Amino acid sequence: MKSDNMNKSALDLAIRYGFIVLLCGLALFFSLYASGFASPRSAVFIFQSVAITGILALGVTCTLVVGGFDLSIGSVATSALMLSAYSMVILEQSALVAVLLCLAMGALVGLINGILIVKMRVPDLLATLGMMFLLIGLQRIPTQGNSIATGMSLPDGSVAEGTFSAAFLWLGRHRFDLFLDRLLPVPVVLFLLIALIIWLFLGYTRHGRLMYAIGSNERAAGLVGTNVQRYKIVAYMISGMLASVGGILLAARLGRGDIASGNNLLLDSVAAALIGFAVLGAARPNAFGTAAGALFVGILLQGLTMMNAPYYMQDFVKGVVLVAALVFTFYLSSRRGGRKTA
Amino acid sequence: MLRREFMKLAVAAGLGLSASGAALAADMPAPFDKPEDVKIALVRYLSTGDFFQSYLSGVEKQAEALGVDLRVLDSRQDAALQADMVDQAIALGVDGIIIQHGLTESMKAAAQRAVDAGIKVVAFDVDVENDAVPQVEQSDYLLGKMALEQAIKDNGDSFTAGYVYVPGIAPLDRRDVAWKEVKEANPGITEAAMFGTLDNPIANSVANQARSILQANPNISVVFAPYDEFAKGVKIAVDEAGLSQDIDIYSADVSTADISAMREPDSAWAATVATNPAVVGEVSVRTLALMLAGEDPDAQVVVPPTLITQEFLNENDVKNMDDLGEKMPQFRHADVSVAEWIPLPKR
């Protein structure tokens, strides 16, 4: 009996802290074996490399919480990228207008997703898949499939005179001083801020708890008077808006409107959210886990790049991590749950 | 010189076509004396992105200048569909087909079927292993070679380099041959790191990688990034690391966005080598037209690339691709597969 108890608590510990230990171990390993890894600057660019997918992943987390899924985030992000470039370079609008347009676009896409799913009863994967294709096509229509950059020739023969305004580029390129000069980039600050807000919102507000309740049992939540439909729509709107924030930051970093499908953004951010299930043995979507999951993938990829591992190796490792995280979540946690009832 | 005068005449003749079509059409060899009856098809494998968009515009413009009926079939990276589309074009009764990219394995048989049906076929950037099918190419090997020659000219023959490469992509593999040769020939050049990814947005993913590479290898002074999306990514990383004075980037391909990135103050992007995709598109159509008129082009039609340096762009105040064509005539028009009777597109 005693050893059984010990096993149980060891398992508990493994589930709870296994991932965090792995994260620290990984950081230690790369610090020893990859030259230049252990430095504040390198820590910052790991954050920077995951900031955009991290923000998208936080959006997915919100839809996962209500038992949904959003496949359109990648294309929402690239649509925001194109839209911001379009409004500044071709329509010659200010940074503020560009940002507001993108956020409105994200919210609108989320609203449509939500209505399709809640009112039209289209399954979430299918509705957002459709939206994904729609957006990939839509973002290319205004420029006939060309990327947007200052000086490009327009179909009517004139030349686009607008530029990315300095205020907009600031969003992607400015760095705050922190101990070192020009250390902390804006996207990282935004990522941490959004992670904190989503974490507080989901974990510590009535709304957040109701969203979890909807996710675990929609009917029950509805029966006790929760406005299930409205919460679900709001979750998709948050997801859409966060995705467009990601797109804005991407545009500010690239400084041009790049044609891209955003599929890799989608996959990376979904992976981060799913890995997040395993962090602290939560076994459910949560903002802290998502941020940690994104960071985990970031550390791995940057470390491997520094050690000159080729890109396919990185894809492979990403896959291994994801599978391991899912095993953590679904198998180990179910065993733990099983024992409790036994 | 004489040739240029001649070209001008040809262009003038081409422009005159619209005014007095009947008079000029008589000078065209069959079947172009009745160009509206000539049907050609462009069967595409790759279509997304600036390069392919620009290629298409070149094909469209040259087809319009000739006055032929152009059908565009786009398989969007579906190799099986692309082969079916060739059959579809055969069924449509086209006179000529341009195969744009694709896989040798799937296109070889399809091209043969078209040739058997008496259709003239031109292939761009795909080897269909058929003597009756000339291959139009932008010389990827030369793209890499010329960029590296410029790098050696600027930096001497010994430097530490970073190299951006993703194996298994045909044009990148051909550019890689040039890099291997140059490394071999110049023992002073060391490759400190090789990296690269095609995760899109490519520039963003490459920037993330390049940040780590530059951190891990502070002695890198030259980055060879033979694809403009790679170069863009490296430039972002170099700027973020505050190293734009210390590192030179050499790349291949060019676009309006690339031009503005190269011209930013203190830009690390020193030079790029490019073929104008629109010109390649025009050459593809002209080669097909020559074949339809019964002439016999070479088995390989190579469109020569042009070196574009940051210095040149700044000196001539080049802002976009149109400016570049004006200031660098060899970029706007390639004297490849031309004939007196073929009208060139309006500029």
Measured between CB atoms, does B255 come within 8 Å of chain A?
yes
pLDDT for residue B16: 41
- Name chain B contacts of A261, Cβ cutoff 8 Å: 48, 200
Same domain (yes/no): B57, B91: yes
Return phi, psi of residue A64, to 5°.
Answer: -65, -35
**Chain mean pLDDT for chain B:** 87
Closest CA to A238 of A250, A226, A246: A246
Annotate A248-310 with three-state secondary structure.
HHHHHHHCCECCCCCHHHHHHHHHHHHHHHHHHHCCCCCHHHHHHHHHHHHHHHHHHHHCCCC
**Could you tell me which residues come within 8 angstroms of residue A197 by beta carbon, excluding any fewer than 6 positions away?**
none
If one compares A104 and B17, the residue with the highest pLDDT of the two is: A104
pLDDT tens sequence across A12-66: 777 778 788 888 888 888 888 877 788 887 888 888 889 999 999 999 999 999 9
Environment class of residue B69 by beta-carbon count within 10 Å: exposed (0-12), middle (13-18) or buried (19+)?
middle
Same domain (yes/no): B134, B145: no
pLDDT for residue A172: 87
Reported as type and span, the H/E element at residue B193 is: strand B190-195
The pair of three-digit structure tokens given for residue A140, joined into one six-digit string: 């290319």
pLDDT for residue B136: 92
pLDDT tens sequence across B233-282: 999 999 988 888 899 999 998 888 889 899 988 899 999 999 998 999 99
Closest CA to A64 of A309, A271, A334, A308: A271
Instruction: Please compute the mean of the pLDDT values over residues B320-346 and round it to a whole number.
Output: 88
Smallest Cα distance from B55 to chain A, Å: 12
Is residue A8's pLDDT more than 60?
yes
CA distance A91 to A83: 10
Whether B258 and B273 have beta carbons less than 8 Å apart is answered as no
Same domain (yes/no): B99, B175: no
Same domain (yes/no): B159, B270: yes
pLDDT for residue A311: 78
The pair of three-digit structure tokens given for residue B57, joined into one six-digit string: 């515009």
**Is A258 within 8 Å of B48 when comparing Cβ atoms?**
no
CA distance A196 to B199: 28
The most confident of A55-69, A168-182, B42-56, by mean pLDDT: A55-69
The verdict on residue B331 lying in a domain is no
CA distance B140 to B157: 22
Sheet holding B190-195, edge to edge: B190-195, B160-164, B222-225, B248-252, B269-274, B306-309
Residue carrying the six token digits 């709001």: A234
The most confident of A211-220, A233-242, A262-271, B330-339, by mean pLDDT: A233-242
**DSSP calls for B79-114:** HHHHHHHHHHHHHHT-SEEEEES--HHHHHHHHHHH
Beta bridge partners of A187: none
Q: What is the largest CA-CA distance in chain A?
A: 83
If one compares A91 and A154, the residue with the highest pLDDT of the two is: A91
pLDDT for residue B23: 40
Reported as type and span, the H/E element at residue B121 is: strand B120-124
**Is A259 within 8 Å of B194 when comparing Cβ atoms?**
no
pLDDT for residue A6: 67
Q: Give all strands (DSSP E) within chain A, no chain letters.
A: 175-178, 180-185
Same domain (yes/no): B175, B56: no
- Name chain B contacts of A262, Cβ cutoff 8 Å: 200-201
**Tell me, what DSSP letter sits at residue B139?**
-
Is residue B21's pLDDT more than 70?
no
Q: How confident is the model at residue A67 (pLDDT cuts 50, 70, 90)?
A: very high
What is the span of the domain harbouring residue B29?
A: 2-138+277-304
Measured between CB atoms, does B189 come within 8 Å of chain A?
no
Q: How many residues does chain A have?
A: 342
If you count DSSP H runs as helices and E runs as strands, how many of each does chain A have, helices first? 14, 2
pLDDT tens sequence across B129-141: 899 999 998 888 9
CA distance B176 to B173: 5
Question: How far is the CA of B326 from the CAs of A260, B315, B333, in angstroms?
Answer: 30, 14, 10
User: Residue A122's CB: how many other CB atoms inside 10 A?
Assistant: 16
Is residue A236's pLDDT more than 80?
yes
Chain A contact probe: residue of B72, B169, B200 with most A CBs at under 10 A? B200
Same domain (yes/no): B90, B203: no
Closest CA to A235 of A99, A79, A73, A102: A73
Percent of chain A scored above 90 by pLDDT? 47
From A36, A78, A153, residue closest to B216, measured CB to CB: A36
**Is B200 within 8 Å of A314 when comparing Cβ atoms?**
no
- Please, what is the end-to-end C-alpha distance for chain A in angstroms? 14
Q: How confident is the model at residue A335 (pLDDT cuts 50, 70, 90)?
A: low
The pair of three-digit structure tokens given for residue B221, joined into one six-digit string: 């002074």
pLDDT for residue B14: 44
Environment class of residue A235 by beta-carbon count within 10 Å: exposed (0-12), middle (13-18) or buried (19+)?
buried
Is residue A175's pLDDT more than 90?
no
Residue carrying the six token digits 């390049």: B210
pLDDT for residue A27: 87
Closest CA to A172 of A55, A87, A297, A306: A55
Rg of chain A on CA atoms, in Å: 21
pLDDT tens sequence across A305-326: 888 787 788 888 888 888 888 8
Closest CA to B162 of B205, B202, B209, B200: B209
The verdict on residue B230 lying in a domain is yes
Smallest Cα distance from A34 to chain B, Å: 7
**Is B213 within 8 Å of A305 when comparing Cβ atoms?**
yes
CA distance A57 to A239: 9
Is residue A96's pLDDT more than 80?
yes
Annotate A165-194 with three-state secondary structure.
CHHHHHHHHCEEEECEEEEEEHHHHHHHHH
The CATH number linked to B110 is 3.40.50.2300
- Reduced to 3 states (helix: H, G, I; strand: E, B; else coil), residue B269 is strand
CA distance A51 to A57: 10
The pair of three-digit structure tokens given for residue B130, joined into one six-digit string: 């058929």
Type of residue found at A329: T
Query: Measured in whole angstroms, how far is the alpha carbon of residue A325 from the centre of its chain?
Result: 17
- Reduced to 3 states (helix: H, G, I; strand: E, B; else coil), residue B77 is coil
CA distance B78 to B274: 27
Whether B249 and B268 have beta carbons less than 8 Å apart is answered as yes
Same domain (yes/no): B94, B185: no
Question: How far is the CA of A242 from the CAs of A51, A127, A235, B173, B204, in angstroms?
Answer: 12, 19, 11, 38, 18
**Tell me, what DSSP letter sits at residue B302?**
E
The verdict on residue B152 lying in a domain is yes
Instruction: Please compute the mean of the pLDDT values over residues A173-183 and round it to a whole number.
Output: 79
Same domain (yes/no): B155, B281: no
Closest CA to A295 of A55, A116, A96, A76: A55
pLDDT for residue A79: 95
pLDDT for residue B42: 95
pLDDT for residue A199: 95
Q: Structural domain boundaries of chain A?
A: 51-148+158-276
Is residue B15's pLDDT more than 50?
no
Sheet holding B69-74, edge to edge: B69-74, B39-44, B96-100, B120-124, B135-138, B300-303
Q: How confident is the model at residue B76 (pLDDT cuts 50, 70, 90)?
A: confident
The verdict on residue B111 lying in a domain is yes
Q: How confident is the model at residue A78 (pLDDT cuts 50, 70, 90)?
A: very high
pLDDT for residue B202: 87
Smallest Cα distance from B289 to chain A, Å: 27
Chain B contact probe: residue of A55, A152, A315 with most B CBs at under 10 A? A152
Whether A164 and B261 have beta carbons less than 8 Å apart is answered as no
Same domain (yes/no): B66, B101: yes
pLDDT for residue B13: 45
Q: How confident is the model at residue A118 (pLDDT cuts 50, 70, 90)?
A: very high
Is residue B217's pLDDT more than 60?
yes
Closest CA to A255 of B275, B240, B318, B210: B240
Name the domain count of chain B. Answer: 2
Percent of chain A scored above 70 by pLDDT? 95
Measured between CB atoms, does A256 come within 8 Å of chain B?
yes
Same domain (yes/no): B105, B156: no
The verdict on residue B312 lying in a domain is no
Measured between CB atoms, does B196 come within 8 Å of chain A?
yes
Reported as type and span, the H/E element at residue B161 is: strand B160-164
Same domain (yes/no): B98, B179: no
